[in-house]
Structure 1
Amino acid sequence: MSVSDLAADEFRAGRPVILTAAREGGPDARALAVTFHAPQHTGHLATEGLPLSAPATSGNKATWHLAVPDADLTSPAERRVHGRTMDSAWLSGESHDSDEELRAALVQADNLARQHRLLKHEFAETNAGVVALYVQLEEQDEQLRKAHGQVLRELEDALRPRPPLIPGLELAVHYAPADPGAPTGGDLYDWFTLPDGTLHITIVDAVGHGVRSTRSALNVTHAVRTLALEGHPLQSILARTHDILMPLDPKLMATVLLARVDPVTGDLQLANGSHPPALLVRLDGTAHHLEVRGRGIGFPLPGSERVLSAHLDPGDLLLLYTDGLTESRKDVCEGEIRLVQAARNHAHRPLADIPTAIATDMHTIVHHADDTLALALRITPPP
């Protein structure tokens, strides 16, 4: 077909053409060189767009290099096509129809090949765009995560006051929410100095999780702080807080532990409303819970039944906490026993490290995730 296309213009102009074919590399070679020669053609042959491009074109010659089978092409078996010899088939009109069908098939194949190349190009561009979009989304997601984390840290700092600087006292705290993605929960603390120099500490565990429980805990700490600064007796503060908040939030329920420490004398006072007891670890390693009976905010008959008085010597460790520290394995008694052991193990460490170290030991196995708060206090030995 390519030879016919090249010869058509020459034949119309009445010029001769020469077609030669020879095996390359000797009679046993499997490569055939087919050369088309138009001796009277001027310039270069137009070989563009041929069904089979001619890789070797020089002036008025075009050569194709073809692979041939081992069989002899001049044998009768190779020279017969549909019951006729190649010569007779070529000379008959059927060859023209076959050529046209083959040309149409080649055109269709070329179109499909072009469409395939176009699709591959479009797919490559689309894939590059998707990758770029994915990278952009990843960068935006990282920026959002950083911004979200920054907002959460600022919110947590705003909700949780830093330790007051009191000569003769060391203070440290550890807090971990039940949901790592939420910085707030129902466990909250407050500490401040009263006009007489005494340190007041409030530990609150409001029922629930998340922002709603945080609001309840904040209401309790604010009410307690107001009453304490007004000079109300420690034993009456819990009941008074209940009376103030119930009309505002009838569904509020919270356990509360109040502590007051005189940094000069080491005197300690505790009032409790349904909250886990404070743990005191002496310098010699002895430890015991400071039990005070009472009922929390939102409970029937709220308030502390009495105020427990104790004394802290230099080097003694006082630990105030919420039930998330001791109930991670759903066994309160077992948790309190482990807490005593953990506090003894870490009592010799710098106070800033103790709350987190104790929480780490207590949460090696967690069957019940809950907000966790651990606050440590120690009277420093004199210089």
Structure 2
Amino acid sequence: MIPHSTTHHSLPGLRTALRRLAHRLNLPVEQRARLALAVTQVAAGELGAGRSVTLHASAETDPKDGEPVLAVRLRTPLAPRPPSPKELKALPLPAERMPGAAAVWRLPQPQPSPAAHGAPPVTELLEEELKAAVARADALAEDHKRLKHELAETNSGVLALYVQLEERDEQLRRAHGQMLRELEDALRPSPVRVPGVEMAVHYEPAGTDAPTGGDLYDWFVLPDGRVHITLVDALGHGVTSTRSALDVTHAVRTLALEGHPPESIVARTDEILLPFDRELMATVLLARIDPADGRLSLANGSHPPALVVREDGTATFLEVRGRGIGYPLPGSEHLLHDKLAPGDLLVLYTDGLTESRRDPREGEQRLLEVARAHRHLPIEKIPGAIAADMHTVILHPDDTVALTVRRTHEDAHAS
């Protein structure tokens, strides 16, 4: 049966001869159909122009791997140009171009069929190819349906997992937030309660992801009955700056309880902490208030000035020059003395309250006006009200502490 060679002058004759040859050679139906489409596509131009083509089939050895193959060659001796390799690769059954042939198809050597000598009508061969194509399409449709079902189940599982992860993430966020709130409560002591003064504080972090920034405060009663207040703003944000600020407040508290004068505490704190943390930088404001007579003393290390609002509405900033911890020549240059009369309000704060605005000086002026407007509110509401009004414009978010102390008409010695 092999070799086989025929010359053709029309597409129908070529197709018929090719299908009968493929049937006799026992080629698979789908491969036969692809071969017929590919050969027709290459020969169509030549036969349409009235030129002949030659179809040749022979048993050969594949030069690449030495396996026996069926080689089907289509020769177009009068063609003005042969098809390009790119065109041959794009055929329904890809082909190669070899010398003396327009295209060569190398197919696995088929096994002869006992009934291969019979040649059924072409319509029967076409119907067989059509059935194979329909069966292939049905199989692909079934695979597509199965894959869609599997994808839907996978998507459903992924969605359920996503929901579980979201719920878990929310639980972790709540637990994290609770832990940070507990840490914040531990780091920020409740107001001191002594006759003659009332105190309140408002703290606001730069962001909810780091609610334990470098702005800390501390207040306690000294052995002589005076109230000591420390306000610290350590460089940076987050837990690292919290540790730095906590170191400062602890050192200041120790020095104050040991009896060191307030004007020396800033410099002494720098001497104590800097050998252990050369990167530490913090501004510090120290205030001492005598609840009995309202006497006030302030020491400052690069911190924003305290603000005092008198009961009649007059207000002034209490400026004390000095340099903070980690700065060159740290310490307060002197101790400022003042006196709070009953009804007077003292406002201590970190720079996040005033420097969040376009101009710090404008921020200080607005703070003066806001504190004056809220001075008669209950003490526990004043710091939050001040912060709310100051933060209507925030250009540079920063940790913020607003701490207020008001002298009361209550006699400190009455108790």
Query: Shared topology, TM-score over 0.5?
Result: yes
The answer on whether the counterparts of 2:195 and 2:410 sit within 8 Å (CA) in structure 1 is no
Deviation at 1:223, TM superposition (A): 1.0
Q: 1:81-113: per-residue Cα shift (whole Å, max 9, x none)?
A: xxxxxxxxxxx9555444433432332233223
- Structure-1 residue corresponding to 2:189: 161
What is the distance in 1 between the residues matched to 2:276 and 2:146? Answer: 70
* CA 1:103–1:248: 2 relative to 1, 3 Å: closer
TM-score (norm 2): 0.66
1:8-23 matched pairs, under 5 angstroms = none
Q: Which of 344, 351, 354 is 1:323 aligned to?
A: 351
The answer on whether the counterparts of 1:202 and 1:257 sit within 8 Å (CA) in structure 2 is yes
What is the distance in 1 between the residues matched to 2:148 and 2:271? Answer: 75
1:1-383 matched pairs, under 5 angstroms = 93=121, 96-382=124-410
What is the distance in 2 between the residues matched to 1:306 and 1:224? Answer: 17
Deviation at 1:353, TM superposition (A): 1.5
Deviation at 1:137, TM superposition (A): 1.3
SS in 1 for 2:361: helix
What is the distance in 2 between the residues matched to 1:254 and 1:380? Answer: 32
What is the distance in 2 between the residues matched to 1:103 and 1:207? Answer: 80
* Comparing 153-162 and 275-284, the one that deviates more: 153-162
Give the unaligned 5+ runs of structure 1.
1-91
Give the unaligned 5+ runs of structure 2.
1-119
What is the distance in 1 between the residues matched to 2:327 and 2:266? Answer: 11
Deviation at 1:330, TM superposition (A): 4.3
Q: Which amino acid aligns with 1:280?
A: V
Q: 1:154-200: per-residue Cα shift (whole Å, max 9, x none)?
A: 22112211212223322111122223310222211111111122110
The answer on whether the counterparts of 1:155 and 1:183 sit within 8 Å (CA) in structure 2 is no
SS in 1 for 2:401: strand
SS in 1 for 2:325: coil
* CA 1:99–1:295: 2 relative to 1, 3 Å: closer
SS in 2 for 1:369: coil
The answer on whether the counterparts of 2:210 and 2:237 sit within 8 Å (CA) in structure 1 is no
Deviation at 1:310, TM superposition (A): 1.6
What is the distance in 1 between the residues matched to 2:279 and 2:148? Answer: 65
What is the distance in 2 between the residues matched to 1:300 and 1:127? Answer: 62
The answer on whether the counterparts of 2:357 and 2:395 sit within 8 Å (CA) in structure 1 is yes
Q: 1:248-305: per-residue Cα shift (whole Å, max 9, x none)?
A: 2233222211111122222211111221111011111111111122222223332222
SS in 2 for 1:185: coil
Deviation at 1:327, TM superposition (A): 0.9
Coordinate RMSD, CA, aligned: 1.9
What is the distance in 2 between the residues matched to 1:101 and 1:181? Answer: 68
Q: Give the ranges of 4+ consecutive aligned residues of structure 1 lying more than 4 Å apart after TM superposition.
A: 92-95
* CA 1:101–1:300: 2 relative to 1, 3 Å: closer
The answer on whether the counterparts of 1:204 and 1:220 sit within 8 Å (CA) in structure 2 is yes
SS in 2 for 1:203: strand
What is the distance in 1 between the residues matched to 2:299 and 2:265? Answer: 9
Q: Which amino acid aligns with 1:256?
A: V
TM-score (norm 1): 0.72
What is the distance in 1 between the residues matched to 2:402 and 2:360? Answer: 16
* Comparing 218-227 and 260-269, the one that deviates more: 260-269
* CA 1:303–1:112: 2 relative to 1, 3 Å: closer
What is the distance in 2 between the residues matched to 1:305 and 1:374? Answer: 24
The answer on whether the counterparts of 2:353 and 2:402 sit within 8 Å (CA) in structure 1 is yes
Q: 1:132-172: per-residue Cα shift (whole Å, max 9, x none)?
A: 11111111111111111112112211221121222332211
* CA 1:128–1:186: 2 relative to 1, 3 Å: same
Q: Which amino acid aligns with 2:376?
A: H
Q: Which amino acid aligns with 2:186?
A: A
Q: Which amino acid aligns with 2:382?
A: I
What is the distance in 2 between the residues matched to 1:296 and 1:235? Answer: 12
What is the distance in 1 between the residues matched to 2:280 and 2:145? Answer: 70
* Aligned positions, number: 292
What is the distance in 2 between the residues matched to 1:372 and 1:248? Answer: 27
Q: Which amino acid aligns with 2:381?
A: D
What is the distance in 2 between the residues matched to 1:217 and 1:305? Answer: 22
Q: 1:309-366: per-residue Cα shift (whole Å, max 9, x none)?
A: 2221222111001111111124221111111011112112121111121112112222
What is the distance in 1 between the residues matched to 2:128 and 2:359? Answer: 90
What is the distance in 2 between the residues matched to 1:115 and 1:294? Answer: 80
* CA 1:372–1:96: 2 relative to 1, 3 Å: same
SS in 1 for 2:346: strand
Q: Which amino acid aligns with 2:270?
A: H
* CA 1:376–1:112: 2 relative to 1, 3 Å: same
Q: 1:28-86: per-residue Cα shift (whole Å, max 9, x none)?
A: xxxxxxxxxxxxxxxxxxxxxxxxxxxxxxxxxxxxxxxxxxxxxxxxxxxxxxxxxxx
